[in-house]
Amino acid sequence: MSTRFYPQFKILLVDDETSFLRSMSLTLERQGYNNLITCSAPEDVQGIINSEKVGLVLLDLTMPVISGQELLTWFTEEHPDITVIIFSGLNQVDAAVECVKKGAFDYIVKTADQEQILESIKRAIHTQELNLENHALRAQLLSNTLKQSDCFDAIITANAQMHSVFRYLESIGQSNQPLLITGESGVGKELIARATHAASKRHGELVTVNVAGLDDNIFSDTLFGHSKGAFTGADKQRSGLVERASGGTLFLDEIGDLSPTSQVKLLRLLQEGEYYPIGSDRPKRIEARVIVATHQNLAERQQEGKFRKDLFYRLRTHRVDIPPLRERSEDIPLLLRHFMRIACEEMGKETLKIPKNLAPRLIQYPFPGNARELRALVYDSVSQSQGEVLDTRPFDPLLEQTDIRNFSEEKVTFSENQPLPTLNQLSEILVNEAMLRANQNQSLASQMLGISQPALSKRLKNMKDANIE
């Protein structure tokens, strides 16, 4: 298995005292920061920066040949995207203020408490990661294209909002920050998590766990594992899912149902980047990206006191909200065909024909169960189909709920007291109503009207030209 470096960019340690470089390197490596470069000759710094992908520099203030202040000025002018922390052997307020004015992220005295030093470095890494992600996000959204479109092949959609979600997920795919996926039940949150994991290029696996209903002890044991003898029945050591997901992604579904005590444990895992197996006093570092999902409104649960505010803000560093199926009606025909083909393959049947009027009628149903509900209906229909055409009887109850009528079987009447509309007026009314019901999707609207899509497109153009005149 290849070594995964953290952070993704290199940390450059610059100090003419080799003993300090050695001790600081060991300290950082014990904390899981293994992407390090050390430099004891300040004159070599510029060459290292030009040849290596450095994101954070720990820079000694007092050095021969080139001082730390001179190098800080050079970084600010030539590489403002690199974060710099100044280290000094003296606690000088004036020097600290001057360095911060020149662009240093922090000024740290070498004799300071180790926790203080590590906390500053942790904040700097977090800030640098967010800066890099923001740059990648802007570039990705401006490009309007997907570089890894195959990662999203399992998600069937023609919706513009969904494709924007894909571009966002691709841009943050390699981020180490948590991702929060929200959306109604059945919209495909786990598919989104799998696509994000694929786009991350992580070598580890995607480990999924539904945390709804887990009590605090089971939550800890499931995620963190336990040591031998930790409790009655623990006759051997067991690794948790966090360790199993090392180098990959840990997906926690239904996070909104997590108990308050378990929320504290998850918050510590995300903030500190470490955890304790049950019965162990030695922490382990998490080496997985965390993705969480919920169908609940976490902002409302936080206001109700059912979800921790600090955890809520920690989770929403990256967030996507998946629109319900009723808001992307153009996907209904695609999903209908997709689920039908899969169901036919699984049941050993020839591909069935779908009645032309089925999809236009379905788009007016709200689908509270979203794609999961549509899939179940299609499987039921395929199982009942005996001929070459899809049996639509399983759809009838839900279509009746929306009072969707088949106008081909009814007569349209007009009041005798009102003048009849002209054919052109009637055509325009029907076209506008069809486009409204189809959420401006011409393919669906043309099916409703019983004409081809090119014919509808021509009618819309003529209507637009007539209104302009």
- Per-residue pLDDT for the chain (469 aa), expressed as one digit of tens each? 456 778 889 999 999 999 999 999 999 998 888 899 999 999 999 999 999 999 999 999 999 889 999 999 999 999 999 999 999 988 888 889 999 999 999 999 998 888 899 999 999 998 998 888 777 777 766 667 788 899 999 999 999 899 999 999 998 888 888 999 999 999 999 999 999 999 998 999 999 999 988 889 899 999 999 998 888 888 888 899 999 999 999 999 999 999 999 999 999 999 888 899 999 888 888 999 999 999 999 989 988 999 999 999 899 889 999 999 999 988 999 999 999 999 999 999 999 999 988 888 898 888 999 999 999 999 999 999 998 999 999 998 887 765 544 444 455 677 777 778 788 888 888 888 878 777 677 777 777 777 877 888 888 888 877 766 5
Per DSSP, the three-state class of 28 is helix
Alpha-carbon gap, residue 73 to 95, rounded angstroms: 14
Give the Å distances, CA to CA, from 97 to 94, 180, 276, 278, 393.
Answer: 5, 38, 39, 45, 76
Q: Per 3-state DSSP, what percentage of the chain is helix, strand, and coil (rounded to 5)?
A: 50, 15, 35
- Count of Cβ atoms closer than 10 Å to residue 410 Cβ: 8
Question: pTM surpassing 0.85?
Answer: no
* DSSP 8-state symbol, 420: P
Sign of the C-alpha dihedral computed for residues 311, 133, 289 and 206 taken in this order? positive
Alpha-carbon gap, residue 103 to 84, rounded angstroms: 8
Query: Which of left, alpha, beta for 206 (phi over 0: left; psi -120 to 50: alpha)?
Result: beta
Alpha-carbon gap, residue 290 to 341, rounded angstroms: 34
